[in-house]
Amino acid sequence: MKAFVTGVAGQLGHDVMNELAKRGFEAVGSDIAPEYSGVPDGSAVNTMPYVQLDITDAAAVEKTISEINPDAVIHCAAWTAVDLAEDDENIQKVHSINADGTKNIAEICKKLDCKMMYISTDYVFDGQGEEPWKPDCRDYKPINVYGRSKLDGELAVAGALSRYFIVRIAWVFGTNGKNFIKTMLNIGKKYDTIRVVNDQIGTPTYTYDLARLLVDMIESDKYGYYHATNEGGYISWYDFACEIFRQAGYNTKVTPVTTAEYGAKAVRPFNSRLDKSKLSENGFAPLPSWQDALKRYLKEIDKEG
């Protein structure tokens, strides 16, 4: 299998490329930068072909992917800064990247008749209630700019292709980039007490574990919508912070607060519970528990300094 991966300078794209390399697959990575940027030295990603690509440029997308002629495209590139997406000057740019860019990729995948995997989010739903969202649920009600742009990306893929995977994830963390865990560790070194919201419920996703699953999926023909996060039960961000400090050996006190008390520019979903049962139903191995993923992650970032 020959794969083309977008967003390889990010947390997930980086780990997907490493997983493909580990399995001996031919893969080409891409991102907006002229060369690999922000990728740790020694990573397998650095040894694999790379092309600069602005996914909002339809002509460039068609030319680049046509020349590579992959069997599958794993589309990880996205605007993910949720609060910044709400700024008036960014709204159109967010849509151009997450919706129009995704449509550009879907159209060339259709022309080449290759598989496409699109990484999406629970933010396509309104985050109400307490029932886990089913992957085939069509009750879309995004509540912020980011969510609307990712939904438009989903619709572009499903509207153009039949051989596609749409995989929704949540609360992502990986070694190659910023995330909640790194933020907590940095803040925990500076302050004795911090505030973290306790009324948003979901499950973390370790990109190292997710990359393994995504490559398993793209090798198959079990197309459709999926949800993928680590196992281990649903938690709040407050619960997650407490476990981060416990495992890291910090004495930082965490004070639970409501979303309203904390305040944020973008509206966040209260219910980010994702039903992942479709994975095992289709023969895919579930991800390890988030507690185990956190333990391995802390060891990995400690090793990397």
206 contact partners, CB below 8 Å, separation of at least 6: 173, 174, 230, 287, 290, 293, 294, 296, 297
CB count in 10 Å sphere of residue 103? 20
Specify the residue for token string 């479709």.
Answer: 278
For residue 297, indicate whether it is catalytic. Answer: no
Residue type, 2: K
* 3-state secondary structure string across the chain: CEEEEECCCCHHHHHHHHHHHHCCCEEEEEECCCCCCCCCCCCHHHHCCEEECCCCCHHHHHHHHHHHCCCEEEECCCCCCCCHHHCHHHHHHHHHHHHHHHHHHHHHHHHHCCEEEEEEEHHHCCCCCCCCECCCCCCCCCCCHHHHHHHHHHHHHHHHCCCEEEEEECCEECCCCCCHHHHHHHHHHHCCEEEEECCCEECCEEHHHHHHHHHHHHCCCCCEEEECCEECCCEEHHHHHHHHHHHHCCCCEEEEECHHHHCCCCCCCCECCECCHHHHHCCCCCEEEHHHHHHHHHHHHHHCC
Radius of gyration of the chain (CA): 19
Q: Determine the length of the chain.
A: 305
Catalytic member of 146, 164, 225, 238: 146
Question: Phi-psi bin for 297: left (phi > 0), alpha (psi -120 to 50), beta?
Answer: alpha
Q: Which residues are identified as catalytic?
A: 146
